[in-house]
């Protein structure tokens, strides 16, 4: 699997969010270029963990839905003499 890819538009939005957070919480002004590198670092070092958690969450939802479908099929099953 290749690395985590972030679209240009999404990365720009993330840069602004991180810059705003650092400014508000820590009174720290950081350039967009530095924040982009930080986001790339986070994606490389932690992205797979977040991605895998998302897959596990999706798998749990699918499993629950499959159980619902199985129950619904069982309910409409006809008795056999």
Per-residue pLDDT tens over the stretch 29-81:
999 999 999 999 999 999 999 999 999 999 999 999 999 999 999 999 999 98
CB 17 within 8 A of CB 42: no
Q: What is the DSSP letter of 79?
A: P
Q: Give the pLDDT score at 4.
A: 83
CB 2 within 8 A of CB 23: no
State pTM to two decimals.
0.72
Q: Which residue has the higher pLDDT, 63 or 1?
A: 63
């Amino acid at each position: 699997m290749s690395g985590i890819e972030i679209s240009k538009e999404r990365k720009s939005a993330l840069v602004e969010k991180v810059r705003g957070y650092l400014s508000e919480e820590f009174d720290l002004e950081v350039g967009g270029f530095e924040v982009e590198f930080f986001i790339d670092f986070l994606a490389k070092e932690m992205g797979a963990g977040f991605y895998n958690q998302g897959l596990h969450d999706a798998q749990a939802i699918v499993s629950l839905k499959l159980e619902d479908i199985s129950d619904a099929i069982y309910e409409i099953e006809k008795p056999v003499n």
